[in-house]
Amino acid sequence: MKLYVKARSSYRSDLEEISIKKELKQKYKLDTRRKDDFIHAGILGALRLQEQSEVHSCDELYLTSGVGNCNIVQTAKESVYDNKEIMKLFDFINILGNTTSFYVAKALGITAKSLFQISDNFTYFHSLINIYASLQHSKNEAVFGAIDVVSEDISIIKRVLGVEASVSVVSSVCYQKLSLQNKDAQAELEFDTIFYSLDEVLAIIKEEDIQVICSQRCRALEGVKPLVFFETYGASVVNELIEKQENALFIECYNEKYKILKIRAKV
């Protein structure tokens, strides 16, 4: 299966010191009321993508995340469980995943399919597969956003994701405009539905004359690995390789099962 990247946008908290809420208000003149940090981050990435590529009302919207909106879940827990209070109305609304999709779709003027989906593993890969299948039917293009926002209590997200205490966790927002057509593409993404074993991955690496980039979960593999952690690292790899005009295999691992994304961005 292949998808083509027509445009991309990025934000990472370790690379860019901005107030997202202030950026949305001052640069994009957006009303930020009744929205939280997770929704703000999703909208920022979407508007930055729109600056790079025209987005049509018939484009499909897909959002994914490592653990979703952790901060709003924590807020709800404190209100209902700790303080025995009724949850605030907009906290209840914002805790729903599709609320983020609604605000992002509204900001982009998208009226077609809009999904917020999270897998408990390989969430970036599974979203690519779903997008490919949907576009085969609709023949449209897709806006794909991967949103990871660090929780206010950073120990929570480390515990949920199984990240070691010494590893730095950062917020990341990466968007890509995806198409089945390769015209004017910035990169080609090739992937499949197969779960590979370690031996199979090593055999593929040996056959491919291409750099290997791994997530931190790939402890049994040698390759370029990030110094920081966020769940949808694959989305950032795609955008970085396009920026550098490089090709690579990106490899992710869960429970000794592997998936591979081949990224060709070199002209």
Using the predicted structure, report yes or no on whether residue 177 has a pLDDT greater than 60. Answer: yes
pLDDT > 70: what percent of the chain?
89
State which amino acid sits at residue 91: D
Query: Which of the two residues, 159 and 228, has the higher pLDDT score?
Result: 228
Q: Is the pLDDT of residue 197 over 80?
A: yes
Q: Which domains does the chain have, with CATH numbers?
A: 2-186 (3.40.47.10), 188-264 (no CATH)
- Lowest mean pLDDT: which of 88-97, 183-192, 239-248? 88-97
Query: Residue 209: is it exposed, middle or buried by C-beta count within 10 angstroms (0-12/13-18/19+)?
Result: exposed
Please provide the distance, in angstroms rounded to a whole number, between the alpha carbons at the two ends of the chain: 20
Contact 108, 132 (CB under 8 A): no
pLDDT of residue 96: 67
pLDDT at 154: 74
Span 70-124, pLDDT tens digits: 666 666 656 555 666 666 656 656 666 688 999 999 999 999 999 999 888 999 9
Query: How far is it, in rounded angstroms, from Cα 264 to Cα 52?
Result: 20
- Report the pLDDT value the prediction gives residue 266, as an integer from 0 to 100: 78
What whole-number distance in Å separates Cα of residue 26 and Cα of residue 22?
Answer: 6
CA distance 196 to 178: 25
Q: Residue 161: what pLDDT? A: 75
Residue 175 has pLDDT above 60, yes or no: yes
> Rounded mean pLDDT of the chain?
89
Question: Residue 7 carries which DSSP code?
Answer: E
Answer whether residue 256 shows pLDDT above 70: yes
Q: Are 88 and 256 in contact (CB under 8 A)?
A: no
C-alpha dihedral, 216 to 221 to 224 to 226, nearest 10°: 10
At 45-60, the pLDDT tens digits run 999 999 999 999 999 9
pLDDT mean over 155-179: 84
